[in-house]
Structure 1
Amino acid sequence: MLGLSLGLASAGVLILFIQRGITFDTFHRDNDRIYFVQTADAEDRYNQTVYPILGQMVKTYPEIETGTHVQGWNNVWLNYKGKDLQKNTKYVDSTFFDVFSFKLKYGNAATALKRKQSIVLDEKVAEALFGERNPVGENVVVEDSLSFTVTGVLEPVPANSSIQFEVLLPVSNLEGNPDFASGADWYNTFASVYLKLRKGADPGKLEAKFPAFAKTHFTAEGQKRQIRIAPLEDYVHYENPNFRWMIYGAVTIALFIVLIISINMVNLNTAMSFTRAKEVAVRKVTGSTLRQILAQFWTESALVLMASLAIAIVFGVLYLVPQFNEFREGRMQLVVNWQQDSATFLTLIGIIGIITFVAGTVPAAYLNRLDLRDTLKGKLSGKPASRNWTQGTLIVVQLVIAVILVVGAIAVRWQIDYMRRADTGFRGENIVVVSSDLQYKDRNAATAQFVPILNGLKQNSRIESVATSSIVPTRYWSNYNIYTPEGTEPKDVRLRHVGTSTGYARTYGIRMIEGRDFSEDLDGKGEHHPVVINEAARKAFGWTSAVGKRLRQGNNSDVYTVVGVMKDFHYGPLKERIEPLLHWYDGPPGLRSYLTLKFADIKQAREVLSDLERDMKKIPSKRPFQYFYMQEELSKQYNDLDGIWKMVNFVTLLAIVIAFAGIFGLISLAASKRTKEIGIRKVLGANVRGIAVLLSRDFVILLVIALLIGLPLAYSFVIKYLASFEYHVHLPWYVFGLVALGALALTIATVGFQGIKAALADPVKSLRSE
């Protein structure tokens, strides 16, 4: 029951995750008619498009019933009677609730976003500002100066929704922003656009019309890209290609667990059938039919399994679900909802039904086939459990699964450690990054106050280098554009591009292999738009020397001059290849998103940070002073893999415990069947070691067979898994040897203990037993 409970609890949580995963974004009304617009080029296909496309598409194509933007731009600050909150904000059209079926607790979905000064809050935000009462009709202050009326309160957004938000504002408020308007053209692809097609509309035929649409409306550079549409339920898979593999992995592990507990149940029931042979024979003599015998065995198995399920539910809800959510670190958290999760519960009931049927049928059918006379006379021979071909096969399957999981857990751990220890191409030691964008109430005044603080840091003898930037390693934007070099043979290259200032490369120890880094003296006026590229970009352009080369950016008449080439460095996790990268000059050090401090001795950081916090607090702002150590941030990149490793570890331990608990039960039953044989052997001079070996030998042989099958399979799986990482470790051969030795040692300890115990029993008692 312990093994069954653990197994069912683990399988239940995985099935719950699978259910959430395969139903991602499917809870909307008319879900089959909701699509999102994508951009495709020669290298990629991504879930954004140009901002003006929605209005023009709705006008042009009668197949489209309606649509909406779901635009991120900034997370607005809300104020109500002195309470300040900043929450995840999305800007949407008035048709948002015509496309999506997010439920409102208060308010009318049809009119909630009609007025420009409307605001819709989720339940938790509304409660934080207004308490338990209905706030519809109340006014809140947005961004310190604008008054908005609460027109709706949302029920919790499902965790398996690709659109996550806490505040909704009409997108018309964003269109008046000059910075937003300058990029909302027919070239820049940063908008998330969703369409609801009319009933019967063919998305394939609609998509076939888009090339002509692009030629009519897109800029000349933009026409090199394709417009595509995809079903809403595919959004998460384009955004996170690994999510599908996570679901497949969860399905595989859940099947492994169910298979292991099923094998254990069948094996133990079959082994125990020996002790019930006379009982079944007597029942048959007194008139019991096969159906009645089967019903008895099914009922007994069902009672055990239902009791295990009750324990599993308690354990799963109270322990495993919170642990799983911790592994996921905020991504698609599992919340048990008995009504919503009925499919998971019914799946578990179905699993129990199948196990009950198989575990009850196999021993009942076996006993029903035995000769009544031999059974009643006690002539049923008690062969060792492992000599039963079916039982032996099931044991081998269990052990193969356990071996694969053990090797898999080791491979994941080695890969994580390899990535954390690998050379990133920059120096993260002794570096502290301060979040310097604290949402200042007066940006200009804050800049004036920040400059003396920055100058003081540069003069501090405990600090080796200072840099301000909009990005830092591990936090690079997913911001790309096409760059074309001037020359006789122009070649378009898609570059990730970000802005940095002087001191960035020096602070992070990024080596320049050609040319120079940015310089305040040389680049201060920004007259020739200096840029620094990495090795991957130089290679993509086909250059042997890049300094002095001139680039033009798509949809931009400016000319950018390459002044230096950085050695390739990992600005993201090692799972991804180093992409062609361009840094543009963001001006001299100033008030930006991040302030990076490189210390001569990291032990001196605390005192400097304490003084810096005191100085920064003098600048009126809404956010608290925050910082992080770069070494810790580099390690955090792999927290999601840590979560996977912990889950695999748990499942591996579970598989080992269940498998070897089953083997322990089988060796115990095997020893009890051979009680008289052991007694006779001892009387005739057999020693304890010989008897223990006799009982253990068959199980050890099964383990060797399992290793011969499991280790090659594990090697094959591990090679494929590690190949999914652009930079990966190579698992040495001796790991497989250690797994084999560990499995052998555990098997010998498990069966040997019971074997020795049986061998030490008093032969007089065993020979007198009936």
Structure 2
Amino acid sequence: MLRNYFKIAFRTLWKNRLFTGINLLGLSLGLASVGVLILFVQRGITFDTFHENTDQIYLVQTETRDGRYNQTVHPILGQLVKTYPEIEDGTHFQGWYDLWIGYKGKDAQGDTKFVDPGFLSIFTFKLKYGNPQTALKDRQSIVISQQISESLFGNKNPVGETVSVNDTLNFKVTGVLEKIPENSSLQFDVLAPIAFLEADKSFANNADWYNTFSNVYLKLRKDADVAKFQKQMPAFAKAHFGTADADRGVHIAPLKEYIHTENPGFKWMIYGAILIAGFILLIISINLLNLNTSIAFTRAKEVAVRKVTGSTLKQILFQFWTESGIVLIASLLLSIVFAVTYLVPEFNEFRQGRMQLVLSWERDYVTLVVLAGVISLIAVIAGTYPALYLNKLDLRDTIKGKLSNKAGGRGWTRSTLIVVQFVIAFALAIGAITVRKQVSFMRQAKPGYEHSNVVVVSTDLQFKNEKAARSQFKSILDGLNQDSRVQSFVTSSVVPTKYWGNYNMYLPEKETSKEVRFRHLGSGARYAETYGIQIVEGREFSDEIDKDGKNNPVIINESAMKALGWKTAVGKRLRQKNNTEVYTVVGVMKDFHYQELKDKIEPLLHWYGGPAGINNYLSIRLHDIGQAKKVLSAVEAKMKQIPARKPFSAFYASDALSSQYNHMDGIWKMVNFVSLLSIIIAFAGVFGLITLAANQRTKEVGIRKVLGSGVWEIVYLLSKDFLLLVVIAVIIGSPLAYLFEKNYLQTFEYHISIDWYIYGLVGLFALLLTMLTVGFQSINAALTNPVKSLRSE
């Protein structure tokens, strides 16, 4: 009997191969997309949960009146461990600089984190080589990634080998890391003992009870009362923070909160992925159900004959389930190929290195189980609904072919499902257009500085002899001073689009109540000139006037002046909250967008970084950007004469401005793909339904033509219902799309306005596409010879 089910199923699917093909297309594309989205959701909801003691791991957050953030002061860990018995162990996870590791003439550098000895006991990061319990106990021990290990040592086990660190110290390799999971908030290539960093004077000078730049993690005892522990934190903060930090608190948060505090939009990405996956499943299910139900009416006599010959409802259901199951299994296989070869690589490109999807059949069995469950459910529904309906039909009417009135009773269900499909497709299309227009707006908006004629050279090349490099670099700057193609240049620690998240509280010299949070950093003379930033009051830095650093000159922006409540700023003095050193404002910059337009321009302060010299960046403004390659070639030739570990690199300021929105392009591509997918599936379904409708009304069309109906009357007869459904979908979808567009745009400080004509254009496009889809089959039916039509069964 089972063989007969499959034999009949294959015959039926081949007989209706157009509809089988449409189902395969929609299901394979849809299931591939749903599978990738489920993978992303799985990675997201299991973020940082792979550690064996996840429930015991907490991070120390700083709590302020503006909210919480994940960094805290460096000395807090030792004090917490000493004070509270609830803490079993703790560790810093501190970045400061990346170590250069050398071995027999080879150099390698990776993302370096300085940690305490218990780090690998608290967190479950597996080692390919080495003992995690002892790997970091020695002050001059080092744990490296597998990639760095292979670049220095090849395929051999390097544990026990001695390497040079920054050319001055010898460290022993004590471990090699296995690949770190993509959904880990802690990512690194090198681990070194925190004791080594604490001996660095520049670090020690900042590692106080004021500067919050440390990531600190605690492992609490299994029986610890976390709520009780948290209640002790206000008293702890009051006892250890100075009077200037009376408003600063300490919060103990579960490890899983790290990603959501660091990136508040992450949970919305997960919700969005779930919503989109749900939409796609709904669309493909509707399509399959509509086509299967419509085709079922052509099989009414078959079901009636089965019943007359003794078939039970169970046997009829098994026949329909078998057919649906074959289509869905074939679709699943096609979807896996499509996902692995195209969707996953595209998704990873869209993520731009953040939480990449790396497929692992062993780890991703959950996704396969979910997909299998979804497919089984769809197969059961798609097979059950038409089978149950046909089973209820009167045998006499069915055998006589009297089904028109009976079949029509279910038309409202099919119409409702078609409208739902088109509403989703319409809303997603509006969403894709909105995202694209917003990205274009941000790329084309004037950022408040001139970027078109500026090239930027990266000068932090890790020179092997800093003293000699400074002397040689000065000759490069002298050459630029003499170059007639160069209008201006500046060396600085940052450039627009690459500003650090470096903040401090500032207040007027003689006031204690007016505190303003500034983003602050150093820049050189002619920064404003090089980037065309308008100085609205005072002047910018000058190597002649400010070279002695007298009065600690600073330049602020308009937002800073407004936040301080000043109408004029030049000559006024500021101090940081954590020290008594006084800074004198010598100029005010017009507000400019030094970061994405998504965020509001914050109060900004530049301090004088000293005369031009080696810094992170050398920005060069040219009279003619066409001369950029020649100027850069000359600079590159001179910089290559300075021994360095990193290669020469440069970029155009315009490219940097545009590229900061590349992640938005990724969002647009995802929404655009889903929109296109939903449109393809929806219209493929409509094409199948109009084809079926035309076939079912073949004799009616022939009679109408014999009685004098023209081609366009026949086309109108067959098309009007579908066109009406699209109009209804546009009417229903417009307010839904508007709500999405409004809420999405409100996440941007600077955004486009809502253009109502877009709704009309998308609706018109949907109508035209529907007319083309249904019109093709309608015209084909209308042009059929009525003699052939009247001979139709």
TM-score of Structure 1 vs Structure 2, range by shorter chain:
over 0.9
Whether the aligned pair in 1 keeps the contact of 2:457 and 2:650 (CA below 8 Å) is yes
Within the alignment, does 1:373 sit opposite 2:396 as a pair?
yes
Q: Which amino acid aligns with 2:367?
A: T
1:32·1:231 contact (CA, 8 Å) conserved in 2? Answer: yes
- Out of 159, 162, 178, the position equivalent to 1:139 is 162
Q: Which of 172, 190, 203 does residue 180 from structure 1 map onto? A: 203
Q: Which runs of 4+ in 1 moved over 4 A?
A: 382-387
Superposed CA deviations along residues 628-661 of structure 1, whole A, max 9, x for unmatched, are 0000000011000000101111111111000000
Asked if 2 retains the 8 angstrom alpha-carbon contact of 1:76 and 1:89, the reply is yes
Distance verdict in 2 for CA 1:204–1:602, change over 3 Å: same
Tell me, in whole angstroms, the C-alpha distance in 2 between the residues paired with 1:199 and 1:391: 57
> Is residue 603 of structure 1 aligned with residue 626 of structure 2?
yes
Q: Give yes or no for contact 1:536–1:578 (8 Å, CA) kept in 2.
A: yes
Q: Indicate if the aligned counterparts of 1:18 and 1:250 stay in contact, CA closer than 8 A.
A: yes
Q: Partner letter of residue 255 of structure 2?
A: L
* Counterparts of 1:618 and 1:724, CA distance in 2: 48
The residue type equivalent to 2:119 in the other structure is: F
Deviation at 1:132, TM superposition (A): 1.4
- Identify which range, 220-229 or 358-367, moves more after superposition: 220-229
* d(CA) in 2 for partners of 1:686, 1:603: 68
Q: Is the partner of 2:243 in helix, strand or coil?
A: coil
* Residue number in structure 1 paired with 2:15: none
Q: CA deviation at 1:290?
A: 1.5
How far does the alpha carbon of each residue in 1:320-378 deviate from its partner, in whole angstroms, 9 at most, with x for none? Answer: 10111111111111011001111111111111011112111110111011001110111
Report the Cα distance in structure 2 between the residues aligned to 1:117 and 1:150, rounded to whole angstroms.
9
Q: Is the 8 A contact 2:461 2:647 kept in 1?
A: yes
Match of 2:430 in 1: 407
C-alpha deviation, 1:130, in angstroms: 1.1
Q: Deviations over 1:581-621 (max 9, x none)?
A: 11111111111110000011011010111111110111111
Question: CA, structure 1 residues 185+126, in 2 after alignment: closer, same or farther (shift >3 Å)?
Answer: same
> 2:760 corresponds to which residue?
737
User: Counterparts of 1:567-582 in structure 2 under 5 Å?
Assistant: 567-582=590-605
Contact kept in structure 2, 1:107 and 1:153, CA below 8 Å: yes
Contact preservation (8 Å) 1:386, 1:699? no
- The secondary structure found in structure 2 opposite 1:575 is coil
Q: Which residue of 2 aligns with 1:389?
A: 412
Give the superposition deviation at 1:731.
2.7
Question: 1:284, CA displacement in angstroms?
Answer: 1.2
1:464 aligned partner: 487
CA contact (8 A) 1:102 1:154 kept: yes
**1:138-157 alignment to 2 at 5 Å?**
138-157=161-180
What amino acid is the match of 2:199?
G
Q: How many Å separate the matches in 1 of 2:764 and 2:511?
A: 65
Give the alignment of 1:619-698 within 5 angstroms: 619-698=642-721
Shift of 1:57: 0.3
1:505 corresponds in structure 2 to 528
Q: Is the 8 A contact 1:237 1:244 kept in 2?
A: yes
> Partners in 1 of 2:429 and 2:410 — Cα distance?
27
CA offset at residue 382 of structure 1? Answer: 7.1
Which whole-Å CA distance do the structure 1 matches of 2:398 and 2:513 have between them?
Answer: 90
Q: The residue matched to 2:292 in structure 1 has which SS? A: helix
Structure 1's unaligned 5+ residue stretches are none
Q: 1:291-338, CA deviations, whole angstroms, 9 ceiling, x for partnerless residues?
A: 221122112111110110001001101111011111111111101100
Pair 1:242-2:242 in alignment: no
Q: Structure 1 pair 171/341, CA: closer, same or farther in 2 (3 Å)?
A: same
Partners of 2:705 and 2:475 lie apart in 1 by 91
1:80 is displaced (CA, Å) by 1.2
Residue 761 of structure 1: how far off its partner (Å): 1.2
Count of paired positions: 770
Contact 1:432 1:598 in 2 (8 A): yes
Q: How far apart are the structure 2 equivalents of 1:688 and 1:333?
A: 55
Q: Which SS does the other structure have where 1:647 is aligned?
A: helix
Question: Is the 1:186–1:222 Cα contact (8 Å) retained in structure 2?
Answer: no
1:120 equivalent among 140, 143, 151: 143
Counterpart-to-counterpart distance in 2, 1:472 and 1:297: 65
Is the Cα–Cα contact under 8 Å of residues 382 and 673 in structure 1 kept in the other structure?
A: no
TM-score normalised by L of structure 1: 0.99
Is the alpha carbon distance of 1:384 and 1:365 closer, same or farther for their aligned partners in structure 2, counting shifts above 3 Å? closer
- The counterpart of 1:540, out of the listed 549, 563, 580, is 563
SS at match of 2:246: helix
**Which amino acid in structure 1 is aligned with residue 282 of structure 2?**
L
Q: 1:383 offset after TM fit, Å?
A: 8.1
**In the alignment, does 2:190 pair up with 1:167?**
yes
Query: 1:220 & 1:168 partners in 2: Cα distance?
Result: 36
Q: Is the 8 A contact 2:509 2:582 kept in 1?
A: no
Name the amino acid aligned to 2:545. L
Q: Which residue of 1 aligns with 2:775?
A: 752
Q: Give, in whole Å, the separation in 2 of the partners of 1:504 and 1:466.
A: 8
Q: Which runs of 5+ in 2 are unaligned?
A: 1-23
The aligned residue for residue 287 of structure 1 is 310
Aligned equivalent of 2:274, options 231, 246, 251 = 251
* Aligned mate of 2:228, from 205, 214, 217: 205
Are residue 95 (structure 1) and residue 118 (structure 2) matched? yes
Code of the aligned partner of 1:637: Q
Q: Structure 1 residues 629, 382: CA separation in 2 closer, same or farther (over 3 Å shift)?
A: farther
Note closer, same or farther for the CA distance 1:115–1:393 as it changes in structure 2 (3 Å cut): same
Seen in structure 2, the aligned counterparts of structure 1 residues 632 and 599 have a Cα distance that, compared at 3 Å, is same
Q: Deviations over 1:541-580 (max 9, x none)?
A: 1111111211110222211111111111000000011011
Aligned partner of 2:252 in structure 1 is 229
SS of equivalent to 1:120: strand
Match of 1:612 in 2: 635
User: Structure 2: how far apart are the matches of 1:738 and 1:488?
Assistant: 58
| CA deviation profile, 1:654-676 (whole Å, cap 9, x unmatched) | 11000000010011111111111
Does the CA-based 8 Å contact 2:297-2:407 persist in structure 1? no
Q: 1:467 aligns to what SS in structure 2?
A: strand
Separation in 1, partners of 2:406, 2:475: 88
Matched ranges for 1:545-564 at <5 A? 545-564=568-587
| 1:81 aligned partner, one-letter code | K
Residue 486 of structure 1: CA displacement? 2.2
Tell me the distance in 2 between the aligned counterparts of 1:256 and 1:357: 19
Which of 37, 42, 50 is 2:73 aligned to? 50
Equivalent residue of 1:591, what SS? Answer: coil
Distance 1:258 1:386 in 2: 26
Tell me which residue corresponds to 1:432: 455
The whole-number CA distance in structure 1 between the counterparts of 2:409 and 2:460 is 68
Aligned AA for 1:672? N
Q: Tell me which amino acid in the other structure corresponds to 2:707.
A: L
Q: Which amino acid aligns with 2:463?
A: Y
Residue 76 of structure 1: how far off its partner (Å):
0.9
Other structure's SS at 1:229 match: strand
Cα displacement (A) at 1:417: 0.4
Shift of 1:44: 3.5
Q: Secondary structure at the match of 2:49?
A: coil
The 2-side partners of 1:615 and 1:223 are apart by 52
Alignment counterpart, residue 584 of structure 1, candidates 607, 611, 616: 607
Aligned partner of 2:92 in structure 1 is 69
Structure 1 pair 207–354 and aligned structure 2 pair: CA distance change class (3 A): same
**Matched residue SS, 1:582:** strand
Deviation at 1:59, TM superposition (A): 0.9
Which residue is 1:2 aligned to?
A: 25
Shift of 1:223: 3.2
Distance 1:113 1:210 in 2: 30
For the residues of structure 2 that align with 1:285 and 1:412, how far apart are their CA atoms?
A: 58
Match for 2:568: what amino acid?
A: S
